[in-house]
Amino acid sequence: MKEKTHLGKQLLSILVPCYNEEAVLPAFYQRTSQVIADIPRYDFQFIFVNDGSKDHTLDVMRELREKDSRVSYVNLSRNFGKEIAMIAGIDYLTGDAAIIMDADLQDPPELIPEMIYWWEKGYQDVSAKRRSRAGESFFKKWSSHAFYTLLQKVSDVPMQRDVGDFRLLDRQCLNALRLMRESQRYTKGLFS
């Protein structure tokens, strides 16, 4: 078990970059809140990053903040892209570890306890890997496979296939990412 640092409990941040997510954000918050309610040994905070949404995503974030003090948000002035939104959230979160998730619920919150289990075992970067790419077009599957094949050939850094941004990062990883201020970010590469 990790050392306790936040009011007797460790704090885990849930980082959620958002772009036009007003329709799914309440369901994401509700479902994730139910999962973390069953993990009383940790404190949690939500960090939502509004990446220049053109819908009412920011209003939903404000409403969530009004009813839950664990919710914070960062509002970017325009759409910078998910990579920049993630690092903006990382700059502001205060947790001993962070769980990065998408708001569309393709990253199942029900995996959070298992991610925490592996973190407690000492792993500093716990990532979720897709078992299948069901529902994606042939082109999407082919292009993803081709991209990773090419990337492996030109890079000295091993890259995991079918591993997205859904992961738990320990404080040491978060601090290292804060030091990497590339303007053209490829976060999956930085994670590796």
Encode pLDDT of 29-77 as tens digits: 999 999 999 999 999 999 999 999 999 999 999 999 999 999 999 999 9
CB 116 within 8 Å of CB 133: no
All structural domains of the chain with their residue ranges: 10-131+162-183
Interacting residues of 99 by C-beta distance below 8 A, sequence separation 6+: 12, 13, 14, 15, 112, 115, 166, 167, 168
**In the predicted structure, residue 2 carries a pLDDT above the cut 50:** no
The token pair at 119 is 């973190």
Encode pLDDT of 137-171 as tens digits: 666 556 655 655 665 666 665 656 554 678 999 99
Give the whole-angstrom CA distance, residue 159 versus residue 182: 19
Choice between 61 and 180, residue whose per-residue pLDDT is larger: 61
Give the whole-angstrom CA distance, residue 187 versus residue 44: 24
Q: Which CATH architecture has domain 10-131+162-183?
A: Alpha-Beta Complex (3.90)
